[in-house]
Structure 1
Amino acid sequence: MHTDSINLDGFKLAQSRINGMVRETPLIKSQPLKRDLTPQGSLSLKLENLQPTGSFKVRGALNTLHTLTKEQKNKGLITASGGNHGLAVAYAAFLAEVPALIYLPTSTSPEKLKKLQSWGAKTCTLGDVWDEANKGALAEAKASNMTYIHPFAEPNVIYGQGTISLEILEMNPDIDVLLVAIGGGGLIAGVAAAAKLIKPEIRIIGIEPIGAPTHHASREAGELVTLSTVDTKAGT
């Protein structure tokens, strides 16, 4: 997605597509935190853990599903995930009554595997990290002609994730800073773009795990980098 192609209508269209299939999750004020962690002013939390799949990723998966042709859907959906995007794609496939195949690292929890399979998805564990699982998914997508859905580098996924900003700023137009988690980057790309289109003066602060500082390392290097090791329990 090039920056000159991002537009507010795209986020509004995504919102209309997924309306009724995702929850408009509450925005609640947080209890006071430790002094050294609390920013000035009040802190609110957008409870995306209340989505049907347990995370925001269902927004991007369902929006992408709506852009696919009947033929693309019937070929089956395939992706690679640390768990949460896989759950989102499996759920979307379940609603559309089409096949899904999810590649995951061998470290994926048994609970997530069980949930994926409960929605009818087939699973394949491969490699220690997402990159290895993703190579397998891409190879299988090419061999079987299934429809591959990237967990973050896909415009329709990014538009779907950005619908969070539409809800936040409708619920509280006075919010002036958004703290956004960074993993692959799909969430912050969508949330930041949508929020800035609605409220240009809003500040966006990205937060990523100390053990997986890909964005920070890329900014330091002035180019995209791949980490040699990752040490975090945060799921994707």
Structure 2
Amino acid sequence: MRIESSSFNPMIQSAQKKPANVGIEQKMTSQINGLNQGTENAQTAIDALKTADGALQSVSDPLNEMKQLAVQAKNGIMTEDDKKAIQTQIEGLKSSINDTLKNTEFNTIKLFNQNSPLNVQTGNQSTVMQLQNTSLEGLGLADFDVTKDFDIDKIDQAIEKVSTARSKMGSKSTGLESTVRANNITQENTVASRSNLQEDLTTQISEIKKQEYLKQYQLATQKMQMNSQKSKLNILA
């Protein structure tokens, strides 16, 4: 008895190429790939924000030192030479702040020298990452000089600007971390759904093949029985 191959059976081909199943599976695969890349983008943005935050943290110390020196310079018993010596120290601190902000980069991008916001695609959504201008000019300290008439409040305002910038970056980083968690959950659920769809399709095809083989077996058995009966009739004749 020979059972014909069912590889070209229309029923099986229909199950294998069912547009709805194939279309859904392709969309799921595309969604999974997009979520994976979005998660990677978000994580990279988080790393960039951490780099920027580390730079601003290192700026806070010299700003506090500048505040202390400025208070010292306000002392009425300080001579002009004393103030010049203090200003020399302040210039060194300003230079340190300027170098830090000018040279802080991530993936060759100067983080504090961006005139336009950085767009980050995190999957189906995108977010904008704009770092606050914290250059010496932006902080209002480029021309700060204790040998002239000066306002200590400018240093306090600069410290506040740095704190605000760090706070905004912290909030943005928290939001991106939440996006990463959401992407991971959605990705895991989509992978599970795709696996179930593939398993259902495989089961469906297997059942069709089984029914087809059984039908062919029954037909073959009936044919053998008919041939046997014909042989008996020929012998009796």
> TM-score under structure 1 normalisation?
0.24
Between structures 1 and 2, the one with greater strand share: 1
Between structures 1 and 2, the one with greater helix share: 2
Q: Which of these two proteins has the greater Rg computed from alpha carbons?
A: 2
Higher RCO (CA-CA < 8 Å; seq separation 6+): 2
